[in-house]
Amino acid sequence: MEWLSAMNRAIDHLEANMTQKLDIEEVAKLAFSSPFHFQRMYHMLTGVTVAEYVRRRRLTLAAQEIMSEVKVIDVALKYGYETPEAFSKAFRKMHGMSPSTAREPGTNLKAFPKLSFHISIKGDKDMDYKLIEKDSFKVIGKTKRITTHDGENLKLIPLFWDECMADGSYQRICSMAGAMGVFGICMDFEPNYEAFTYMIGVEDNGETPGDFSPAEIPAARWAVFESIGPMPGAIQKVWERIYAEWIPATGYQQEEGPQLEVYPVGDVPAPDYKCEVWIPIKK
C-alpha cells in the first residue's frame, strides 16, 4: 500500500535527520501530504505529535551518548538545545534525572522507540460516510485552548463539557441550538498541531452573549461520519477509525480548517445516541 510506504518513508527521514532542525514541509512531502494533514494524521494514529516524537527520540539518543561519557554541552548542541540548562531541563522531564546522574552505574533511563506503520486487518464493520458541500456559516459559543501534549486533549475536552454543564453555559447553548444542534469545534490549530481552540457552540442567530466567542466556519466539502453510542467514548472511536481506516482506504486528505462534532439535542449518555463527525476534505 503506497500510503503505508509513504508514512514509513517520512519516519525514516525523521530518524535520519534527528540532529537537524525539523522541516515539517519536507517530511510531509515524503508522505504525499500537506503539513496540516500529515501532522493531524500522525497524531491520531500514534497519540503523539510529530514535534513530540522528535523531542522524545532526541532525548533517547542523547541519553545513550551521555552514558558514553560525551560532554553534556556537546550532546545538548548536537540535538538542538541552545544551552546545557535547556537540555538538562528537558532531559530531567523525560528521564526523571539530570544528565550527570544518568552516568551513574545502574541508572534506569527511558527509551522512546522508533515508530513504524503496519497494516492491521481487523475485519471490522463497514464505515459509512457521506459527502456534503456547505457554504460558510457563523457560530458562537464557549471556547477553551486545548493542548495535545501526551494525549491531554482526550481528557481536557470532556472536562470542558463538564465545566460548561456545571456553570449553565451548555444549557444556554442548547436553548439557542438550531436544526443542526450543538457543535464541538476544533479550530485555530498551532502549526505543529500541539494546541488548538475547542468551541462548544451553535450557529449564530444574530445575538452573541457577552461571554460567548464568535467564529466563522469556511465553505468546504465535508466528509460526514455517524457515531452511535454514549459520549465521549463512541465519538472518540469514530475519530480513530477515520484516520486509521477511512483516509488510508479512500485517498482523501483532510483540508486545513475547523473540524466539527455535531450533537443533536438529546440523551447524550444513551447507548443509541446519534451524532456526527465532520471533516473538511480533498481528494
Domain ranges of the chain: 2-102, 130-282
Q: What percent of the chain has pLDDT over 70?
A: 97
- Residue 119: the pLDDT is 63
Domain 130-282: CATH architecture, name and number where available = Alpha-Beta Barrel (3.20)
Distance in angstroms (rounded) separating the CA atoms of residues 183 and 177: 9
Mean pLDDT, rounded, for 175-191:
92
| The Cα angle at residue 147 between residues 144 and 189, in degrees rounded to 5 | 75
Q: Is the distance from CB of 77 to CB of 66 less than 8 angstroms? A: no
- Residue 244: the pLDDT is 86
Distance in angstroms (rounded) separating the CA atoms of residues 164 and 277: 21
- Residue 121: the pLDDT is 54
Q: Name the band, by pLDDT with cuts 50, 70 and 90, for residue 120.
A: low
Q: What is the DSSP letter of 245?
A: I
Which has the closest alpha carbon to 252: 116, 127, 154, 146? 127
Using one digit for the tens of pLDDT, what is the confidence trace for 196-234? 999 999 999 887 788 999 999 999 999 999 999 998 889
Residue with cell 541552545: 82
- Residue 261: the pLDDT is 96
* Residue 212 identity: F
- Residue 225: the pLDDT is 96
- Residue 3: the pLDDT is 79
Q: Name the band, by pLDDT with cuts 50, 70 and 90, for residue 122.
A: low
Which has the closest alpha carbon to 158: 269, 280, 240, 40? 269
pLDDT at 1 over 70: no
115-121-124-125 Cα dihedral, nearest 10 degrees? 110
The torsion angles phi and psi of 177, rounded to 5 degrees, stand at -65, 140
pLDDT at 178 over 70: yes
Mean pLDDT, rounded, for 62-90:
93
- Residue 217: the pLDDT is 97
Q: Name the band, by pLDDT with cuts 50, 70 and 90, for residue 251.
A: confident
Mean pLDDT, rounded, for 15-25:
94
Q: Name the band, by pLDDT with cuts 50, 70 and 90, for residue 106.
A: confident
Q: What is the DSSP letter of 181?
A: B
Q: Is the distance from CB of 218 to CB of 259 less than 8 angstroms? A: no
Distance in angstroms (rounded) separating the CA atoms of residues 177 and 231: 19
| The Cα angle at residue 69 between residues 83 and 90, in degrees rounded to 5 | 35
Mean pLDDT, rounded, for 268-278:
94
Distance in angstroms (rounded) separating the CA atoms of residues 169 and 173: 6
Supply the CATH classification number for the domain 2-102: 1.10.10.60
Q: Name the band, by pLDDT with cuts 50, 70 and 90, for residue 151.
A: confident
